Amino acid sequence: MAPISSAEPPLLTDAELEWLVDLARRAVRQHVEFGTYMVACAPAAALRAPGASFVTLKQRGALRGCIGSLNAHRPLADDVTANALAAAFRDPRFKPLSSEETTMTSVQIAVLTPPSAAFRVRGEDELYAQLAPGKDGLIVRHGSCQATYLPSVWEQLPAPSDFVGELRRKAGIAATLPVSALEFQRYSTQSSRAISLLT
């Protein structure tokens, strides 16, 4: 089976990525300080076009919140704003971010390409051969169970077997279920640098 090529990353400039991560920072800071946020006017057409993003918050390298969209369903700038607020205040794994935590919290965004067409494989070796570690984000699905890992997760799980195994666990898919029963999609991202909420 020929490798399934990943989609090319969205063509955002470095300046546009910097604007988006600053937008996320400002939305979280304003909500912490004032309980609301000001809607920003995106300066470029690419930021006003539909787009999908993930926003990740970390504290001293540890995850503090991560929420995102897999499919574009609203303007990219609006998606980043909504996901930043959700990551800070509505990630079910964490308490809402407090004002005291802003001094130790960083924010980073990833903008996603559209996911590839769903595909299946006959076995684990065939799946691993399709993956580009460090580049591919992966969605796994079985029935109502679904989860994704961004390409950045390869830094913690560089072996394809570990990456896929932990992703299956995250989705709640039994380890005994054969990989041939699962459905996969791949995507790539453009990521901003991480900046402090106090920048």
The pLDDT tens digits along the chain (199 residues) read: 333 444 454 689 999 999 999 999 999 999 999 999 988 899 999 999 999 999 999 999 999 999 999 999 999 999 999 999 999 999 999 999 999 999 999 999 999 999 999 999 999 999 999 999 999 999 999 999 999 999 999 999 999 999 999 999 999 999 999 999 999 999 999 999 999 999 7
- Tokens 């666990």: give the residue: 169
Question: Which tokens sit at 129?
Answer: 């051969």
Report the CATH number of the 14-112+190-196 domain. 3.30.700.20
Is 97 within 8 Å of 56 (Cβ atoms)? no
Q: What is the C-alpha to C-alpha distance for residues 145 and 47, in angstroms, rounded to an integer? A: 31
Tally of CA atoms within 13 A in the half-sphere of 105 that contains its CB: 25
Helices (H), the chain: 14-34, 45-48, 76-89, 124-130, 160-171
Inter-helix orientation angle 14-34/76-89, to 10°: 40
State the pLDDT at residue 3. 39
State the pLDDT at residue 8. 52
State the pLDDT at residue 145. 98
Is 92 within 8 Å of 160 (Cβ atoms)? no
State the pLDDT at residue 39. 86
Which of these, 38, 4, 43, lies nearest to 20 by C-alpha position?
43
- Measured CA distances, 180 to 18, 116, 176, 177 (Å): 41, 18, 11, 8
Fold of 124-187: Dna Ligase; domain 1 (3.30.1490)
Q: What is the C-alpha to C-alpha distance for residues 96 and 90, in angstroms, rounded to an integer? A: 6
User: Could you state, in order of their start, the residue ranges of all structural domains in the chain?
Assistant: 14-112+190-196, 124-187
Write the DSSP symbol of residue 36.
S
Q: What is the C-alpha to C-alpha distance for residues 143 and 186, in angstroms, rounded to an integer? A: 18
In DSSP notation, 41-95 reads --SSHHHHSB-EEEEEEEETTEEEEEEE-SS--SBHHHHHHHHHHHHHHT-TTSP
Question: Which tokens sit at 53?
Answer: 């993003």
State the pLDDT at residue 6. 46
